[in-house]
Amino acid sequence: MFNSLLLQVANTESNPMSQFILIGSMLLVFYFFMIRPQQKRKTEQRTFLEKLKKGEQVVTIGGIYGKVYDVSEDALTIEIDNKGS
């Protein structure tokens, strides 16, 4: 029964415009759920890094606490206090 239903659906010719609408809506959903949030995170990260100044306290992704020692265009130097170890 299921196979005959699939054959009927496969054999029917559908309107090409409906296929374009389906593909377009899939691309639109993909953009709003995948691409746009990623771009937003990138811009937030870029503005955060641009606002960092020398002497500010930071925590790295790995959980290391430190103080910003030097800020250059493509690198950030962090001074880590090793008195606790």
pLDDT at 5 over 50: no
| DSSP secondary structure, the chain, as one string | -HHHHHHHHHHSPPPHHHHHHHHHHHHHHHIIIIIHHHHHHHHHHHHHHHH--TT-EEE-TT--EEEEEEE-SS-EEEE---TT-
Q: What is the mean pLDDT of residues 68-85?
A: 82
- Taking only the tens place, the pLDDT of each residue in 24-63 is 898 999 898 999 999 999 999 889 888 989 999 999 889 9
Strand partners, 76: 71
Domain ranges within the chain, ordered by starting residue: 1-51, 53-85
